[in-house]
Amino acid sequence: MNFEQKARQLVDQMTIEEKAVLLRFDSPPINRLQIPRYHWWSEGLHGIARAGTATMFPQAIAMAAMFDKSEMEKIGDIISTEARGKFNMCSEQEDRDIYKGLTLWSPNINIFRDPRWGRGHETYGEDPYLTGRLGVHFIRGIQGDGKYLKAAACAKHFAVHSGPEELRHEFNAQVSQKDLWETYLPAFEECVTEAKVEGVMGAYNRVNGEPCCGSKTLMQDILRGKWKFDGYYTSDCWAIKDFHENHGVTNTATASAALALKCGCDINCGNIYLKILQAYQEGLVSEDDITEAAVHVMRTRLRLGLLAEDCEYDKISYDKVACREHRKTAICAAEKSVVLLKNAGILPLSKERKALAVIGPNADSRWPLIANYHGTAPRYITVLDGIEMVTGGKMRLYYSEGCHTIKDRVEKLALPNDRISEAVAAAKIAGTAVVCVGLDERYEGEQQDTGNRFEEKGSMADKETTKLPTSQITLLEALIGTGADLIVVNMTGSAVELNWLHKSENVKAILQGWYPGAEGGLAIADILFGNANPSGKLPITFYRDGKELPPITEYSMKNRTYRYMNPATALYPFGYGLSYTSFSYQDLSIKKVEDGYSVSVLVTNEGKMDGEEIVEAYIKDLDSVHAVKNYSLCAFDRVALSAGESRKVTLFIRKRSFEIVDENGDRYIDSKHFRVYVGGSQPDVRSVRLAGKAPLTDNICFEN
């Protein structure tokens, strides 16, 4: 079907008033044309959100730690299956409410450049290449490969958006052309040109003076011009009113509506497009402007098969929603996402232990499981629950909450640190303690406004510091003082300062558990007791000290992320993660192929435990003055190896990885000499020291 032609035929039959209402995010029905009501706002960041029961996968940053393209595509496919199952069920009952449509406003492919940014855990980390690859495969899973779109993914927030949250409605992100095209835009470009993402959402902020939902540069010149985007563009929610209320680029709501529409914003999440007809009457927009946006949104609805009688996805039943098969995949994803940061030989724990203390505000709480933009799971498994399940009730578990997540006491009427004595007693009696600390969506997340879930006093968005809350530091210091062996499970969506715990002799192991999804406590327990081998790698840098970070308002990439920072400031570098087994690399071979280079290496599991290894390839430009300061991830793959097994792994380094971006934002090959590193980590000194081995390396020389 020619969806473009069909959309134009439908829109040509509409009055200007009917065209205008199509552009509302809560689009009413046009009964005379048999077009039903449709609500554009739905969420699928890590499962269908805010629409009742659904499978809840680990948060996006945790999925990024899997470094697994095929798993991302599988997860996207499951999410769209559940979206269809719920949509079909709701449509039968004429329930066309918010969050129940097929236009999923995910993934968030902004670059997590600063660990203090509250929404960073919605992203795939700090690296443009990793973000682009995972985004492309997630979108392919969401949208499917049928005659119609299974669901419509939406790449957000376009563009140059990663805090500060509290200033987002007025903030102007000032960015160089080099940083724009080298860091902030590549993932969006790949999602548009490769994955053919159906939707793009604009950010709240301005970029170099232009509001992102009314930017000729971003929306016309780059997105629809340079990249030939042919999907729909939506504003972030209530972002267009910021044009006149906060950014000061217009004076009235009518002028704001006109600016957004003229620049190419098709859907307004908010109420400013109620002024579209007034803008038309005042001559600020033409009927052609309204018609073009109406065609775009009808084209998407047609691509989804919403007006078709032969859509293959109409047969997906509600039985698929939160089924056991999908939930099992979510637990598996959580296992793959856990990153082992330190292990002084204590892990995996023996199931024959007589006693174990399980301590901390995140040990038996649902909050750190779910993250933001979440659905309702049919079952939740906390870390304490998971340990009970894995040990079969045969081990004596001493549980203590230990402290409140951020407050100085658990009970209002108690004295400060009212759970410390209990936690200390539990650790002393058991001799070994699993201590679950961290944050949750109440304390790192989106700006707390009326459009979001939390308005309670004390809720936060960005973090003021990368340190753990004082309440948890006090708890950890008291537990270290007991002399017990501690295994710290850090459940956060961002990097926090763990240097003091890494150096402590009593802290025998540290796991980064992220926000692992509804049943993620079982995955963490399986890792702790060796039912699963940790294989995740960090998609972000864990710094030694947050004081070394530039101000969050500075969008220059200087001294940010592993590509531009001083590597000595990393405690746990990007791409780092330990295993219970050991992998060796041999026989590095590089061969020129069409559009790039083929890199092969023999990987061997030298240990006694089956495991999965993430093979990472980095490239360094040895000549150009425009090259990134350090090196860049250019290929990766996940390989499963039984104990003693060897396998040849072949990666593809595309031509684009050899290009630089100059100060004008132009991309081209500027060098003849490159160095390639292949192994289980970055080639930096810190990674080599922590991992105990260096990646293999070889040079590539371009001939004249």
What digits encode the pLDDT tens for the residues 254-272? 999 999 999 999 999 999 9
Assign 393 a pLDDT band (cuts: 50, 70, 90): confident
CA–CA distance, 72 with 60 (Å, rounded to integer): 10
What are the tens digits of pLDDT across the range 422-436?
999 999 999 999 999
DSSP code of 65? T
At 675 the three-state DSSP class reads: strand
Mean pLDDT of 562-583: 97
Tokens for 694? 């260096």
> What pLDDT is recorded for position 7?
98
Cβ neighbours for 121, distance < 8 A, ≥ 6 positions apart: 59, 60, 61, 371, 372, 444, 445, 492, 493, 494, 514, 515
pTM score, whole prediction:
0.97
Q: Which domains, ranges and CATH numbers included, belong to the chain?
A: 1-11+153-280+294-301 (3.20.20.300), 334-572 (3.40.50.1700), 583-701 (2.60.40.10)
CA–CA distance, 693 with 613 (Å, rounded to integer): 14
Confirm whether 242 is a catalytic residue: no
Angle of helix 69-92 relative to helix 128-143, nearest 10 degrees, comes to 40
**Would you put residue 402 in left (φ > 0), alpha (ψ -120 to 50) or beta?**
left
Of 458, 578, 440, the C-alpha closest to 496 is 440
> What pLDDT is recorded for position 455?
41
> What pLDDT is recorded for position 22?
98
Mean pLDDT score across all residues of the chain = 96
CA–CA distance, 28 with 34 (Å, rounded to integer): 12
What are the tens digits of pLDDT across the range 299-323?
999 999 999 999 999 999 999 999 9
Assign 1 a pLDDT band (cuts: 50, 70, 90): confident
> What pLDDT is recorded for position 458?
44
> What pLDDT is recorded for position 83?
98
Cβ neighbours for 391, distance < 8 A, ≥ 6 positions apart: 351, 356, 397, 529
In this predicted structure, the answer to whether residue 538 has a pLDDT above a threshold of 50 is yes
> What pLDDT is recorded for position 454?
42
> What pLDDT is recorded for position 457?
41
> What pLDDT is recorded for position 460?
66
> What pLDDT is recorded for position 208?
98
> What pLDDT is recorded for position 34?
96
What are the tens digits of pLDDT across the range 126-168?
999 999 999 999 999 999 999 999 999 999 999 999 999 999 9
Tokens for 635? 């290929």
* Contact between residue 152 and residue 212 where contact means Cβ atoms under 8 Å apart: no
What are the tens digits of pLDDT across the range 655-689?
999 999 999 999 999 999 999 999 999 999 999 99
> What pLDDT is recorded for position 453?
43
In this predicted structure, the answer to whether residue 285 has a pLDDT above a threshold of 90 is yes
What are the tens digits of pLDDT across the range 89-129?
999 999 999 999 999 999 999 999 999 999 999 999 999 99
Assign 20 a pLDDT band (cuts: 50, 70, 90): very high
What are the tens digits of pLDDT across the range 447-486?
874 444 444 444 469 999 999 999 999 999 999 999 999 9
Tokens 């170099």 belong to residue: 208
> What pLDDT is recorded for position 391?
97
CA–CA distance, 411 with 32 (Å, rounded to integer): 60
Strands 485-491 and 432-438 come out as parallel
Mean pLDDT of 242-249: 98
> Cα–Cα distances in Å, from 249 out to 191, 237, 241, 675?
29, 18, 11, 47
* Contact between residue 209 and residue 274 where contact means Cβ atoms under 8 Å apart: no
Catalytic residue among 68, 127, 236, 637: 236
> What pLDDT is recorded for position 452?
41
What are the tens digits of pLDDT across the range 500-509?
999 999 999 9
Tokens for 565? 């920072």
